[in-house]
Amino acid sequence: MANVVVVGAQWGDEGKGKIVDWLSERADVIVRFQGGHNAGHTLVIDGKVYKLSLLPSGILRKGKLAVIGNGVVLDPWAFVEELAKLRGQGVEIDTHNLMIAENAALILPIHGELDRAREAVNSIAKIGTTGRGIGPAYEDKVGRRAIRVADLADEKTLDLRIERLLTHHNALRNGLGLEEIDPVALKAQLLEIAPSILPFAAPVWKVLNEKRKAGKRILFEGAQGSLLDVDFGTYPFVTSSSTTAGMASTGTGVGPGAIDFVLGIVKAYTTRVGEGPFACELFDEVGEHLGRVGRETGTVTGRARRCGWFDAVLVRQTCAISGMNGIAFTKLDVLDGLKELKICVGYMLDGKRLDYLPTAADQQARVEPIYETMKGWSESTVGARSWNDLPAEAIKYVRRVEELIECPVAMLSTSPEREDTILVTDPFAD
């Protein structure tokens, strides 16, 4: 059976939540494979709004197994809070439909404190972090001093982990003028939250491989966007994990041979949150239109998103890096009513034309977009469920995007509602 990876192809906020939820009806298992609770997904189902930060979008589907993979960094307190909120909205969640990788690293309160403290003192070039401790938690994971889910089950191991962790962190905190962390108090916090986490802990790699052998369909859900990838994004204004399709394997313990289709989520225009280069950013009435009509406010942070024209150069680049087989094109309806549309088809840098975004930070900041102009449409595309429901100019726009990014449209989303989706190619087709 086909297994599908879903990743954002821009700077995040592309509408992954709805698409994953829509695809999860066809899947048996839905897995988050990277990121933390800094990734916000908003889903509208039968007029009811659900906001997810950590849990896989598939948790809203009955009869499905939702999994948090080892590539995710888990804040136990945020997990418990989100669990309670969803249960309060009537979502049934227990150990039968939710599982956490026992080797997932934890985000602790000290990580958030460090995150915010470093951002506060970095007055020259802020990264734009959400301040939730995701970066510092990944640092500890790579530094081999993280506390993992399984460690909560054994006090002796936990003592060793805390000692190693605080040897590093207390030295950092001294340098930042922060009070040292008391190991006894930290251990007490962890032991208190442990009973809420451990029942969900499991060898996810083993379960997923068994599901695959049994012919179950697995949907791998990414967070953030490809342009925030720690290697291939606009470094250093990136997240601290790999957000491209390759992470689906290492973030879950399922080999790359298990991946049958990579679906990139692409917004019909471009947005980003926080600092960093953005060649196509708009500061005029069109930019205001995109932000207002598209309701471009961060699900987690509440920050207004920066808006601009569609950048085909960037999306072509991310399609290639993740080996995307198709894209889900979202928020086409936000362009309704604009008399003309522009698409970035290349960059100018120091008198030379480029067909890719350069790696050097100073060059990324200086590239100038080369635009191609297309005619807009006045008709509404909201709620369209077939190509026949779309204006001719809207179809031309979509087709031109396909040509420029060198990747076909597999799905087209025309509103936040689950059913307002045009399916061109089923990623789960055998």
Q: Of 265, 253, 152, which is closest to residue 208 (Cα–Cα)?
A: 253
- Alpha-carbon distance of 27 to 216, in angstroms, equals 8
The dihedral built from the CA positions of residue 181, 187, 193 and 198, taken in this order, carries a sign that is positive
Strand residues in 303-394 grouped as ranges (E): 306-308, 310-311, 326-330, 340-349, 352-354, 368-375
- Pairing between β-strand 98-101 and β-strand 65-68 as defined by DSSP bridges: parallel
- Contacts of residue 110, defined as CB under 8 A and 6 or more positions apart, other chains included, come to 133, 136, 169, 173, 181, 186
289 is catalytic: no
Confirm whether 13 is a catalytic residue: yes
Task: Give the pLDDT confidence score for residue 266 in this predicted structure.
Answer: 97
Which residue's entry shows tokens 């906020």? 13
* pTM of the shown model: 0.92
- What is the C-alpha separation between 321 and 104, in angstroms, rounded? 26
- Residues ≥6 apart with Cβ < 8 Å to 138: 73, 105, 240, 241
**Residue-wise pLDDT tens for the chain (430 aa)?**
689 999 999 998 898 878 888 888 899 999 999 999 876 677 777 778 888 889 988 888 889 999 999 999 999 999 999 999 999 999 999 999 999 999 999 999 999 999 888 887 765 556 666 778 999 999 999 999 999 999 999 999 999 999 999 999 999 999 888 999 999 999 999 999 999 999 999 999 999 999 999 999 999 999 889 999 999 999 999 999 999 999 999 999 999 999 999 999 999 999 998 889 999 999 999 999 999 999 898 666 667 899 999 999 999 999 999 999 999 999 999 999 999 999 999 999 999 999 999 999 999 999 999 999 999 999 999 999 999 999 999 999 999 999 999 999 999 998 888 788 899 999 998 6
Catalytic residue among 21, 28, 37, 41: 41
Tokens of 358: 């350069």
Identify the CA nearest to 67 among candidates 94, 33, 37. 33
Alpha carbon 207 to chain centroid, angstroms? 23
pLDDT at 300: 61
295-302 contacts, C-beta under 8 A, 24 or more apart: 296/13, 296/271, 298/13, 298/40, 298/273, 299/13, 299/40, 299/41, 299/42, 299/51, 299/53, 300/37, 300/38, 300/39, 300/40, 300/53, 300/130, 300/132, 301/40, 301/130, 301/273
pLDDT of residue 429: 85
Q: Which phi and psi (to 5°) does residue 196 adopt?
A: -85, -15
Helices (H) and strands (E) in the chain, counts: 12, 20
Q: Show the DSSP H helices in 327-380 as ranges.
A: 361-366
Q: How many CB atoms lie within 10 A of CB 348?
A: 14
